[in-house]
Amino acid sequence: MDKHKKSYTITEMFEIAEPILKATSDAICAIDEKGNRIYANALYETMLKRGNTELVADSKDIYIAGNKKATVVVYHDISEVNRLRRELDKLNQKLRKVETKITFRDIIGKNKALQKVISTAKVAAGTPATIMIRGESGTGKEIFANAIHNASPRRNEKFVKINCSSIPEELLESELFGYKEGAFTGAQRGGKRGLFYEANHGTLFLDEIGDVSARMQVKLLRTLQEKEIMPIGSTEAISINVRIICATNKPLEAMLESGEFREDLYYRLNVFPLAIPPLRERKEDIADVSRYIINKYNDFYERNVQNIDANVIKELQKRDWPGNVRELENVLSRALINLDPDEVNLTSEDVRAAIGEKTELKKQTIEDKLDDFPLQINEAIKMTELHCIKRALNRCDGDKNRAAVDLGIPVRTLYYKCKKLGL
């Protein structure tokens, strides 16, 4: 032992260590061998006074020259850790519900036409045939596609979905078929597997199939005929085994007439047609669907609605629901969010308020968008013209004759405007 080393009393030791003990985020106190408190840091006072704090404590005895001189107790505040743990548990519960596979039992409605579609879909699920689902937006095309996949022999393989209308043509091609490394500038290293490849042995759901361009229709037809894909920039075809389910809200038969949709592709896709009726044609289902939605979202929004007033259903049945079940789901979700967490009744006032909120919101977004327009009228008109013309040309695959008809202007005016706007 170092003879020159000064020996300290336990109290002096705490005084020396004070700056360190003060800097920690734990509450610390020390008790001498007689049980008297000889030290407590500032946090000790505040943390132990806060009644609801969740704490865990550790203690250690301190010996000097073999004699026990004090016991130090360290308290950790674990309320934040516990809060996060509870949050995580809740999220995990929600996630488990979301991950639960969608089945035909999730498609609610006793309406005869809907029940007929469900039974046809069940038969189709057992076959490898291509299925074409028709129906307005929000009628349940995607849940049907999911339920079919989960009832099919491919249920343990992947279900891959792509919305063909939300992606520009060049991107759609690489998304679907993939590309080889170096196929084009900006192509990622190692290339990219397309969704057809991803869905191999499983199901590929091509949503909004009526919106694919003429060129992509040719590529899709070739893929379905040959059962192989050719990634962009590659010379080697890859065999694939994919079940196709597609959906659209477009009048495909009229598009065949006008030449916008290929007949050969139509017949390849339309092997098992399923047409989902809109909600306004099955208003008798609104009660069951609403109850299902409330049950589904009660947990999600941490609400506790147990009763739906009879007037609510009457009120809901009066509407035509152009956005179908999705719109009904949005209205009921908003009504739930606005309720008190303990409220057990959903009244027609709650629903009316939620419907009203929606119209207000819609108005606001349009106004907001207009707020971003240039102040100068000429500039604003130019911007609108540019937007309308681009949209029409896109929809008509660059065909100016058809675009001019859609825009309601002579084709010569369209040529002139395109030149002026630099298109």
Ligand X SMILES: Nc1ncnc2c1ncn2[C@@H]1O[C@H](COP(=O)(O)OP(=O)(O)OP(=O)(O)O)[C@@H](O)[C@H]1O
Which residues are near ligand X by CB under 6 A? 107-109, 135, 137-143, 207, 249, 289, 292, 325-326, 329
> 191 or 210: whose CB is closer to ligand X?
210
Report the candidate in 395, 10, 404, 28 with the shortest Cα–Cα distance to residue 212.
395
How far apart, in whole angstroms, are the C-alpha atoms of residue 172 and residue 164?
A: 7
Report the candidate in 6, 7, 29 with the shortest Cα–Cα distance to residue 18.
29
Q: Cβ neighbours of residue 285 under 8 Å, at least 6 residues apart?
A: 108, 109, 110, 111, 114, 279
> 41 or 139: whose CB is closer to ligand X?
139
> 275 or 423: whose CB is closer to ligand X?
275
Least Å distance, CB 249 to ligand X, is 6
Q: What is the DSSP string of 17-60?
A: HHHHHHHSSSEEEEEETTS-EEEE-HHHHHHHHSTT--EEEEEE
Least Å distance, CB 145 to ligand X, is 8
In the bound state, the residue with its beta carbon closest to ligand X is 140
Least Å distance, CB 161 to ligand X, is 10
Structure tokens at 83: 């809060």
> 242 or 325: whose CB is closer to ligand X?
325
The residue behind tokens 């674990």 is 78
How far apart, in whole angstroms, are the C-alpha atoms of residue 86 and residue 372?
A: 43
Least Å distance, CB 323 to ligand X, is 8
- How many angstroms separate the Cα of 139 from the Cα of each of 226, 276, 279, 325? 33, 7, 7, 6
Least Å distance, CB 298 to ligand X, is 15
Least Å distance, CB 282 to ligand X, is 9
Rounded to 10°, the helix 169-177/214-226 angle is 10
> 109 or 191: whose CB is closer to ligand X?
109
> 232 or 325: whose CB is closer to ligand X?
325
